[in-house]
């Protein structure tokens, strides 16, 4: 038996266990929506996307797999190099390039409505990752998760659909909770003049 013969055997043995990645992705998706800080949301989202890339690979959903891999890269970059007040200069061109790659992958793996939903979900998630504010990011992720819910319903991913419904719930809870918090007052940048009457 040659190494080339072992590859299909290894794939068939591992394929059945890739649903474990769907289950782990489900847990990470819900947890990501509830995370308190932007960087934690993004790192958890990257881990969730990596799990779902493997899950979609097993289902034969190539567009979903490709979009998840782009998502992993964007989430890690956004967590590290995009903040509330700053963004590295090279991030916007990288996100533009990765969006063009995502568009090309969507067209190359086109499968009708599932591909359209995955592509639109990827575009909305890219926009979310470019936001410096957690609440703004959650609003765009709400749209992205809605698109992914349709994708997962169409490709028959029970884990993906359950994850999306839990993520949507977590995002709504976090948005309501964040909207109820009182904004911190901004100090007056102009000091009062000394001796002014």
The Cα–Cα gap between 122 and 49 comes to 11
Q: Which residues are bridge partners to 87 per DSSP?
A: 82
Query: The whole model's pTM is what?
Result: 0.76
Per the rule left: phi > 0, alpha: psi between -120 and 50, beta: everything else, 195 is left
pLDDT of residue 16: 59
**Domain locations along the chain:** 19-82+100-179
> With left for phi above 0 and alpha for psi between -120 and 50, is residue 60 left, alpha or beta?
left
- Give the span between the Cα atoms of 74 and 9, in whole angstroms: 33
For 61-103, the pLDDT digits (tens) are 888 888 899 999 999 999 999 887 888 899 999 999 999 998 9
> What is the per-residue pLDDT across 102-146, written as a single tens digit (0 to 9) for each?
899 889 989 999 999 999 999 999 999 999 889 999 999 999 999
The string of DSSP codes covering 63-91 is HHHHHHHHHHHHHHHHHHHB-SS-B-TTH
Tell me which residue of 182, 174, 165 sits closest to 41, measured CA to CA: 174
- Per the CB < 8 A criterion, the answer to whether 151 and 117 are in contact is yes
Q: Could you tell me which of 56, 182, 172, 179 has the C-alpha nearest to residue 122?
A: 56
Structure tokens at 178: 């964040």
């Amino acid at each position: 038996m040659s190494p080339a013969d072992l590859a299909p055997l290894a794939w068939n043995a591992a394929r059945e266990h890739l649903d474990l990645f769907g289950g782990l992705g489900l847990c990470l998706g819900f947890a990501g929506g509830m995370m308190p800080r932007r960087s934690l949301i993004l790192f958890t989202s990257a881990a969730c996307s990596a799990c779902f890339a493997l899950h979609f690979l097993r289902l034969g959903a190539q567009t979903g797999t490709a979009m998840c891999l782009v998502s992993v890269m964007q989430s890690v970059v956004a967590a590290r190099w995009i903040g509330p007040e700053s963004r590295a200069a090279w991030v916007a061109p990288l996100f533009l390039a990765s969006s063009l790659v995502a568009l090309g992958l969507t067209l190359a793996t086109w499968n009708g409505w599932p591909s359209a939903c995955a592509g639109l979900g990827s575009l909305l998630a890219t926009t979310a990752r470019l936001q410096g504010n957690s609440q703004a990011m959650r609003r765009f992720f709400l749209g992205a998760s809605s698109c992914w819910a349709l994708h997962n319903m169409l490709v028959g991913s029970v884990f993906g659909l359950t994850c999306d419904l839990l993520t949507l719930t977590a995002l709504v809870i976090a948005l309501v909770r964040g909207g109820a918090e009182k904004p911190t007052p901004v100090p007056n940048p102009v000091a009062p003049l000394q001796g002014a009457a």
